[in-house]
A and B are shown apart, each in its own frame.
Chain A
Amino acid sequence: DGGITQSPKYLFRKEGQNVTLSCEQNLNHDAMYWYRQDPGQGLRLIYYSQIVNDFQKGDIAEGYSVSREKKESFPLTVTSAQKNPTAFYLCASRFTVNEKLFFGSGTQLSVL
């Protein structure tokens, strides 16, 4: 079945540690997105990529980094510069602009 796979489901970060969240899609979508979800705040855009080897900052990119070396993959690194990383992280993708987004099942990141 085609879809978006995020891993791990749960992730714990120690102080000063970088962690990487995986997002893989086999839908042949060009565009991929990372959102952060906090209770009562909806979804906020971290980074997005419309094509391989290119990505842009979203509304809350500070403390995060991404890469897009393959069409299928868009990993998100939460760096030690992100002082409040505890949140639910959602990856999404789609074919073209202004069309629906397909979402992964999310990764819950917590700080130890």
Chain B
Amino acid sequence: GNSVTQMEGPVTLSEEAFLTINCTYTATGYPSLFWYVQYPGEGLQLLLKATKADDKGSNKGFEATYRKETTSFHLEKGSVQVSDSAVYFCARGGSGGGADGLTFGKGTHLIIQP
């Protein structure tokens, strides 16, 4: 079936460390891919997105590249800050349009220690 799998957390890093959160997806066709971030007690905010193969989404120092050959969309940041502590969700749009919204991974809780 169509699904999104991301690495389980919590992921704990020190400030200024390099971050990778893995995300893979299954789908027919070529869906749009998204990363959302959620801070405690709040809704989800779009962090970045990519709409076709080899596209790179980027925002606030975070990057993710749409890899069709490995069906992956890993999130990376070169130097994390304490303020990056949050839950990160990878999501996939519908290949044929997907009127039923996005399919989300289970989320990865990121903890950055000073």
Contact = CB atoms under 8 A, between A and B. Distances in A.
A103 B45 contact: yes
A41 B42 contact: no
Contacts of B49: 100
A106 B42 contact: yes
A67 to B, nearest CB: 18
A98 B97 contact: yes
A31 interface: yes
The DSSP consensus for interface residues of chain B is: loop
Interface residues of B, number: 24
A91 to B, nearest CB: 8
A101 B47 CA distance: 11
A41 B104 CA distance: 10
Interface of B: 31-32, 34, 36, 41-46, 49, 89, 93-94, 97-102, 104-107
21 contacts: A4-B43, A31-B99, A31-B101, A35-B101, A40-B107, A42-B105, A42-B106, A43-B89, A56-B99, A90-B44, A92-B43, A92-B44, A97-B93, A97-B94, A100-B49, A101-B101, A101-B102, A103-B44, A103-B45, A105-B43, A106-B43
